[in-house]
């Protein structure tokens, strides 16, 4: 099954995987703690605005993960002191679903002192507090739903979501929060 990009978050841990049929030549790089999805050196050029973005940003004791440019305003709102629910709802609604051929939803999660997951689709804005591992994906599994995440470290979280059976894995990040924020990246070989 192909579910596109997806997030799994639980209190203290989260992961994001890029799966892609159309733009598989991508990787994640760590730029001083901000993790960025972008093209590999051999990727064909594209003017698609949705394939390069910060997919993880840390704000004090929290981390924001997501599938597009909304990660930045969510992080900025957390920095301003917004509750996670409000930061997600405002930024997702402001940017709305992607205006591409699929009306691709924006998905995001906040892990830290509060744990939340959210998505904005062409028919819904959903933002939920999370107390057990929860997934949301761009396609098929496009509403937050319980999903086991068998991982305790950032490395395990990234590897676990990368290795899940969903089709077309490209790259993944994992994050844990607590006394400090730990992140990990898995890129295709």
C-beta closer to ligand FAI: residue 69 or 153: 69
Q: How far is the CB of 66 from ligand FAI (least distance, A)?
A: 8
Q: How far apart are CA 136 and CA 16, in angstroms?
A: 10
Buried b / exposed e along 83-92 (16+ C-beta atoms within 10 A): ebeebbbbbb
Span near ligand FAI by CB under 6 A; candidates 20-28, 117-125, 158-166, 176-184: 20-28
Cβ-based neighbours of 135, under 8 Å, separated by 6 or more = 6, 7, 8, 141, 144, 145, 146, 147
User: Strand runs (DSSP E) across the chain, as ranges?
Assistant: 6-10, 13-19, 26-31, 34-39, 53-59, 62-66, 106-111, 116-121, 124-129, 134-137, 145-146, 169-176, 182-187
Site size toward ligand FAI (CB under 6 A) is 18
Per CB under 6 A, which of residues 31..50 are in contact with ligand FAI? 37, 48, 50
Q: How far is the CB of 46 from ligand FAI (least distance, A)?
A: 9
Binding ligand FAI (rule: CB under 6 A), the pick from 30, 60, 61, 100 is 100
String marking each residue 50-89 x if it binds ligand FAI according to CB under 6 A = xx---------------xx---------------------
Output the CA torsion sign for 49, 50, 51, 56: positive
Q: How far apart are CA 175 and CA 98, in angstroms?
A: 25
String marking each residue 120-149 x if it binds ligand FAI according to CB under 6 A = ------------------x-----------
C-beta closer to ligand FAI: residue 112 or 169: 169
Q: How far apart are CA 99 and CA 139, in angstroms?
A: 15
Span near ligand FAI by CB under 6 A; candidates 76-84, 98-106, 121-129, 140-148: 98-106
Contact footprint for ligand FAI (CB under 6 A): 4-5, 18, 20-23, 37, 48, 50-51, 67-68, 98, 100, 102, 104, 138
């Amino acid at each position: 099954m192909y579910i596109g990009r997806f997030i799994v978050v639980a209190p203290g841990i989260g992961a994001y995987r890029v799966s892609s049929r159309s733009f598989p030549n991508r990787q994640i790089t760590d730029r001083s703690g901000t993790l960025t999805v972008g093209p590999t050196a051999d990727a064909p050029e594209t003017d698609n605005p949705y394939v390069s973005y910060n997919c993880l940003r840390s704000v004090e004791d929290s981390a924001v993960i997501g599938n597009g440019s909304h990660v930045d305003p969510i992080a900025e709102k957390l920095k301003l002191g917004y509750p996670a629910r409000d930061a997600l709802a405002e930024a997702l609604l402001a940017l709305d679903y992607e205006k591409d051929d699929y009306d691709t939803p924006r998905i995001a999660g906040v892990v830290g002192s509060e744990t939340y997951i959210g998505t904005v689709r062409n028919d819904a804005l959903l933002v939920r507090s999370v107390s057990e591992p929860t997934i949301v994906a761009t396609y098929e599994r496009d509403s937050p739903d319980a999903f086991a995440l068998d991982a305790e470290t950032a490395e395990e979280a990234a590897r676990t979501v990368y290795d899940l059976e969903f089709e077309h894995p490209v790259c993944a990040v994992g994050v844990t929060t607590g006394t400090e924020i730990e992140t990990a990246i898995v890129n295709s070989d």
